[in-house]
Amino acid sequence: MILSSEKHEFLIQAAKVAAESAYAPYSNYFVGAAILTESGEIFTGCNIENRVLGGSICAERTAIVKAVSEGHRKFQAIAVHCKNNEGWPCGVCRQFIAEFGLETQIIVESDNKKLVVKKISELLPEKPVGVTT
């Protein structure tokens, strides 16, 4: 499904609001994400760091975990906003997003404030392990 530019902008704005809640005392890399479910609901998340790096979680995974815990398994798009600069999902988040569908759109605001939209399948060099859709 192709989303309108208005929907992309709405999701980016929701991701910006979510970034305000980020807990990033170690990296100062404040990230927010907003995921749009197939049914039209939006869940947001922010990154939460921990002294033990493995205990940290990215904004994208926070939003997905919230959506999945509420019974959602199919997603149209996820917007990602980094307060300090342009930021794309990390490798772990890309795999996490792909788990739920290779057609999910990733929306990022570039450094020049233009929205860039790509499918998660475009951000992965090969089909992720275990993903059949």
Annotated active-site positions, please? 60
Q: Which residue has the tokens 């959506």?
A: 67
- The end-to-end CA distance of the chain, in Å, is 15
Q: How many residues does the chain have?
A: 133
Across the beta sheet with 105-109, the strand order is 42-46, 31-37, 75-82, 105-109, 115-119
